[in-house]
Structure 1
């Protein structure tokens, strides 16, 4: 049987040469070892002065070991739970004196090892249960083998461990200032400004420090790794290392002591009988939305403004000082705050039968109120969206009676009630601001304020009928007799569809045009919708020039609606 196992190399090296007087830590060797990530991967050996990461399966304990060679040695052990409360215990077993003189490094026969095994559960030094970052610290520790046992009873979990015999000189974690609180210095509807006192590790000791801010809506975090575990819930199981191989009883027999037989069999029972249930319980957990938790590292600034928050929403803010040299962090005392409410918008009052012009910001909202004076059976609502589509919602006495997206001109019939009041909400699109004309009326019959429009409001140009001085176009009409006015405007060669869309405001009527741009006005309708189409030849144009054509349909009350503009070009040679 061979005992040359890579994961036990460090302990064999230390204990196999007990006869020699070794220093507490060879700094050169230590720096070389911590740069070699494979040195401690999947190992039960805790390096002196380096932080290691581990993974626990639920209800499956893990043990880590390290040796203190000399009495009266300072000792610091820190355990950082990442995404679940942990239970951990630190115990000490004295080094066996009867093996101190053996320095050959050759293992004894297995039978002789068994004969030298003595049961020794060790001395308990410290226990803890919870999710705080907790440490055991001693200025004078006896020599011996130290065992750290960790278990997670709630769920599979990540954690970090740090141990050192030189805590005064190492100081790997950034030190907190005398006041470690994070303060909210400014609060708005979508912004929060935070400030905190700098860590002495950076400002006084000159260590490389950066601050990371974590924002979420659930709770404060006690460590940076807890926040990072929350951000990658869906990856936690996939990146978990394979369960590490703890030392067997015969490994410890070689060193002169052994864990309790009862503990060993109990752990084997837990591992065997709970394996299936652990696999069943490790279900996929969806990753939180990006907006629910964010981590932003901001360098060494100690004032930071978070933007793009939601109004009237409670957020939790945590700040972590990170030593970029060691990549180890310390948490400030986090805070929370609720952003301010949206400013209450002024409600526009609609008058019965009168057109009201309304402007809505991009992704903004506008509220209109209609309160008919007299009793009514029906309300007719006209909405003319001049630019991008808008969402229209109508509530009658608090009850939602209409919710529609509106493009162009739309008419809605709402059932009335005595003394009913109507609240109309107009919500802008994501593309840009919107301009609307809105009219509400209780009057039955009569002529409509807005002209009727066909389903298709495009203007068609006939390419074969183009000449050097004229173009022929056509557009659809309705069964209602309306007035149509045609306008033209010469545009540059670079004028394209993007310019046309930008200028497509259906609410700008003929009154906004120059008299020189007017081509003609005429009345048109057809009782047969299949034949409700009209054509017009526009003359007096220049050869090889581009023109923008507009058709306006004017209603009986003077309100007009513009068809979609058409870009045409005369022939250059005829």
Structure 2
């Protein structure tokens, strides 16, 4: 009998076979337990009177796994298998009344795997389960054939050695293994509803942005990888990575081990496979694969760390794209599917329908600076088709077409513009295209308002401004405490109320004469910077007559911004262009 650490290994009867791999695995489990036992002096697990030296083994879990085939707890490891090769992996379960799960993730080939059990009694002996002929005397606890991630789980497993046997069926592949003592298996794999992927089209450069919510499980250590392709969904991240870049055996030439015959054989086999792969690659060239199957470089794999968005460029019109999102726990190395969706990419967004007399507002930034509207002419028209475009904060380009023919040529609109179309016919469908004038203007625009109607006499809510909505100052009437301004009245007789606002230009912020017309009434009410506000109800008999107003109570030698607004009865308000004035420096 040989005693090694806390595990006993006895000579088995002639009817029992323990393979060299099983003996090697058990030897390293016991060696690891002994090292941890010896190194636990400072943790309080040993009596301080027993003075053992403390040893620190700076060994990664992956190295221990590759040397022993012992699956660690809460750390995903991987192993490479050739087609037809069978490997055994081991997990020694020692906790009483503790759940156990083993998660197996195939990569580029479907696999056949099963889990078997060997009981360890109170003396540490593994009881006989295998006959001399090599046949298993008991059926496996679980068996699976396929290429999906699957988990063997037991809530009340017996202590002992669990043996996982894996065989690839189609081609060489990596297999990822993960052991957990959580009830029901790893928590991330038990999410009832995967998060939804939100797709945001960006028409410029044929881009698409994919967004998602962060993981509710360990969000601080969760990283994300998105797979985009036109072929199919991928069930695992390593499957997509294998098809993207091919499959190459691991390089054991620099691995630290104990130079077992198995390690020497694997190193020699790996060296030969690497030479063959390099030779095939030099012959086949870029875009082809070696022994691991064809490579597909059009598969996009974007790993973005802890970010929750990814932008894909150069999408092709009419193609169907599949999006697979995977989460990777950087602490445990466990990767798992986190969400998926499909989209047929159409670079042109669906036109937005306009209803007669109803204001429609869109966020141009979310539409990547472009929006298309459709309007159908109904019955009972007034003989004209009116529409207005009101960008909130910046400039846009506007074009109106009918059956591909230009009705209103492309024009830049800043602040507000009203368009008229004579004699529209019932059933005609007009197309209005709006786009940001440039990226700088798009950053300034918060929204764009659009209204269309064939009944402007009753459904147009805004007053009509003169062709040149300018405000003029009478220089000769300038004083130290007042200025006099004038403006042309609205051609619309229903625009019956005019208001004059004056505020001191302390910040010198009048970059443009055109004001932001969106929600003008509300903004004027909230603005507390106005030094003067005067309103009057005047309806000149002659639209060419000038309305004048003297603005008093101003400070001498100061600059002011003058704003004139016109309001429609039971309607909204529009502003004339802004005017900058300055009072005289002194009073005589």
TM-score tier, shorter chain, comes to: 0.3 to 0.5
TM-score under structure 1 length normalisation: 0.45
TM-score under structure 2 length normalisation: 0.44
- Greater relative contact order (Cα 8 A, min sep 6): structure 1 or 2? 1
